[in-house]
Amino acid sequence: MINFGPQHPSTHGVFRMRITFDGEVIVELEPVFGYLHRGIEKLAETKTYTQVIPYTDRLDYLASMSNNFAYVMAVEKLADIEVPERAQYLRVIMAELMRIASHLIAVGAFFNDLGAFFTPFMYMFREREKILDLFEMVCGQRLTYNYMRIGGVSHDIPEEFLPALKQFTDEMPGFIEEYDWLLAENEIVLARTKEVGVLPPEKAINASASGPVLRASGVKWDIRKADPYSVYDRLDFEIPVGTIGDMYDRYRVRIQEIRQSTRIVKQAIEQLPPGEIRTKVPGMLRPPKGEAYAHIESPRGELGFYLVSDNSPYPYRLKVRAPSLINLTMLRDLCVGWKLADAIAILGSIDIVLAEVDR
């Protein structure tokens, strides 16, 4: 038996695996987490609805825009607030750019776990930096953005944003071709990832998996299509799926989703209307008594926020449905029968963020 982590670069945060071996083969694996628990759900009960927004940035910090998006949608549903059309499109643009940036990190870190030692990672970082430049233009931040607001977004895009965004979306397909040339048919990649860490579709569904982990198993489920929110019903895009749910499929689905997100952003730019960016909302919002659940398709899967209001300025209860946590519950089944080096790569293929797991 060995303890792998919690302080290890391949655990993607403070996460521990208690692993039992028979020789070199894994026969039992217990994931141990909670080291990064900060009590964000409880803290939310002491903050106004607007003050909670920066806390959502610090859940999945690699997809902060997505956390903002899902939370404000839950508040808007609770308080019956309409969002201006321009703000809806701006939210979608930011969410899809966030998906691309997050998937780039996921793929780069995955190849690090396979032993590629930072070369693919640097390719991915090259494009991610361009996205962070775009975010910095809009809100002045490169990591925790605090951009979404109840009723819209914090402010409009600057003049230089759209030309820079169009240039990025024009260049991105060429970069994806470069990734494919570098990685997709590499013999070592195929040997390490094909038919390793297979997640059958029935097991994925029974475990409530979502996101690329679910779709890699061949299940065509994406909340943007299954339960459209914002303006996704006006945008044309495909849902990439895998065939057998192995590590290779999970990697390929993320690459294909980058293509689709680029396509979505291009359409959103063309359809972006003029107008207001935020509905006027009271500073001390008091939603009527009740409850609401809003969910979105985050880069890691179904991200949901459940809110209960008692007609005070503070949430009575906040519950986060974190896709990283749900997907992590399948780690044992994916790793048993494989070796330690495979377990590290399998964990990387799930793409968890510990700040979202522990909250």
Per-residue pLDDT tens digits for 60-101 = 999 999 999 999 999 999 999 999 999 999 999 999 999 999
What distance in Å separates the CA atoms of residue 209 and residue 205, rounded to the nearest whole number? 6
What distance in Å separates the CA atoms of residue 91 and residue 230, rounded to the nearest whole number? 8
- Say what the pLDDT of residue 31 is: 92
Residue-level pLDDT, tens digit, the chain, 359 residues: 889 878 888 888 889 999 999 999 999 999 999 999 999 999 999 999 999 999 999 999 999 999 999 999 999 999 999 999 999 999 999 999 999 999 999 999 999 888 877 888 898 999 999 999 999 999 999 989 999 999 999 999 999 999 999 999 999 999 999 888 888 888 888 999 999 999 999 999 999 999 999 999 999 999 999 999 999 999 999 999 999 999 999 999 999 999 999 999 999 999 999 999 999 998 899 999 999 999 999 999 999 999 999 999 999 999 999 999 999 999 999 999 999 989 999 999 999 999 999 98
- Say what the pLDDT of residue 30 is: 94
SS3 state at 126:
helix
What distance in Å separates the CA atoms of residue 244 and residue 249, rounded to the nearest whole number? 7
What DSSP state is assigned to residue 346?
Answer: H
Tokens of 176: 């994806």
- Say what the pLDDT of residue 283 is: 83
DSSP assignment string, 133-184: HHHHHHHS-SS----EETTEESSPPPTTHHHHHHHHHHHHHHHHHHHIIIII
Q: What are the two backbone dihedrals, phi and then psi, of residue 208, each rounded to the nearest 5 degrees?
A: 60, 30
- Say what the pLDDT of residue 184 is: 85
Write the Ramachandran bin of 174: left for phi over 0, alpha for psi from -120 to 50, otherwise beta. Answer: alpha
- Say what the pLDDT of residue 7 is: 84
